[in-house]
A = this chain, B = another copy of it.
Amino acid sequence: MNAVESKVDLSVKIGGLTLRNPIMPASGTFAEGLEKVLDFDRLGACVTKTITRELRTGNPLPRVVERPGSLINAIGIPSKGVAYFLEKTMPHYAGYSTPLVVSISAPTAEGFASLAAELTIPGITAIEANISCPNIEEDGKAFAMRAESTEKVTRELRKATNLPLWVKLTPNTGEMPDVARAAEASGADAVVVANTILSMAIDLKTFRPCLGNVMGGLSGPAVKPIILRQVFQCAKAVDIPVIGCGGISNCDDAVEYLIAGASAVQVGTATFLQPKTMTTIIDDLERFCAHRDIGRVSDLIGGVVIEEADEPDLAWLDPIS
């Protein structure tokens, strides 16, 4: 490290955990293959693809379709199961000093809890609970659609593990601040805002859905304004850190999230287009701060300036033209 680099302190705190910088991958868009293009030891954290206890096939093909400025995916959660993960995938990350965050999913609160318990072992730094998946006890509605189901699953998770617990929310609900508050109240150390936005595309040649799963989740630059708003709302609603995730492609996008209230950000789809996006953002973020004499990147968090006059309560609910 030379003098220029060390001028800016890039580290951020997520609960008790200090990350060397606020840039990390989004679950499902990161794996060992990326080692070929960037040094995992530069990242704030490594976040795995969501794993489940059992083997899962994933969704029928086609699994992705592109739209202007966006990707719709319906990969599903193909998973080789937790045993395979422990034996084959985890050792891969042992060589890195970067915290390993394991994303998990299960169809029941109890399933989440027992998986988290099993993963509470050395080598795993934090658990990210992907609760955007269907809750079979609630008629298949995703846990994160409602505050009650979020509270229940988070409480079970909290009992099951003493690792830092991040809860990843779905953007497909109208009650996100309530859901975030429920996660906080039941012990989450951070919320990740957010997963993909439920979407659809139809092939006009065949009149069939473009995705084997009919519907899929939207990601990429197109979703940024929506998820940024959700990060802003959630950061106002809770005291725990919010990790922003949606459409981040460059340093400006990351900074926009930080000043909206995110304490760190995850990069997903952008990695598919430019595989080095994360390290480019880390470099540029340092330059952005140095250029503006911002000594610590954490000073950016929640820095959006809102005039009192701009902030009539109803206006937030009345943006509609």
Contacts of A204 in B (CB 8 A): 252, 255-256, 259
Bound Cα distance A201, B260 (Å): 9
How many monomers of this chain does the complex have? 2
Bound CA span A72–B226, Å? 10
* A224 interfacial by beta-carbon distance below 8 Å: yes
Q: Least Cβ distance of A102 to chain B in Å?
A: 16
CB pair B311 A207 closer than 8 Å: no
* Docked-complex contact A200 and B228, CB < 8 angstroms: yes
Q: Could you say which residues of chain B place their CB within 8 Å of the CB of A141?
A: 317
Stretch with Cβ within 8 A of B (4 or more), from A4-12, A117-125, A158-166, A298-306: A298-306
Chain B residues closer than 8 Å to A68, beta-carbon distance: 69, 221-222
Contact in complex: B222, A309 (CB < 8 Å):
no
Q: Are A134 and B318 in contact (CB under 8 A)?
A: yes
CB closest residue in chain B, given A146: B174
| A279 at interface, CB cutoff 8 A | no
CA distance A9 to B110 in the complex (A): 57
Determine if A218 is an interface residue (Cβ-Cβ < 8 Å): yes
Contact B226 A317 (CB under 8 A): no
| Bound Cα distance from A207 to B310, whole angstroms | 14
Size class of the contact patch on chain A: 35 or more
**Does A37 belong to the interface (CB within 8 Å)?**
no
Whether A225 and B232, one on each chain, are in contact in the complex, defined by CB atoms closer than 8 angstroms, is no
A249 smallest CB distance to B (angstroms): 9
Whether A263 is near chain B, meaning CB under 8 Å from some CB there, is no
Cβ of B140 and Cβ of A225 under 8 Å apart? no
- Give residues 278-318 of A contacting B (CB, 8 Å): 303-307, 309-311, 313-318
Judging by beta carbons under 8 Å apart, are A214 and B316 in contact? yes
Nearest Cβ on chain B to A302's Cβ, whole angstroms: 10
A306 and B252 in contact (CB under 8 A), knowing A134-B314, A225-B72, A228-B200? no
25 contacts between A and B (CB under 8 A): A60-B310, A67-B221, A69-B69, A70-B222, A76-B318, A77-B318, A134-B317, A140-B314, A142-B320, A198-B319, A199-B229, A200-B225, A202-B228, A202-B256, A202-B260, A207-B303, A209-B310, A211-B319, A213-B310, A214-B311, A215-B232, A215-B315, A216-B321, A218-B225, A222-B223
Q: Which 7 A-B pairs have the closest CB atoms?
A: A199-B225, A75-B321, A173-B174, A222-B222, A200-B229, A216-B319, A74-B319
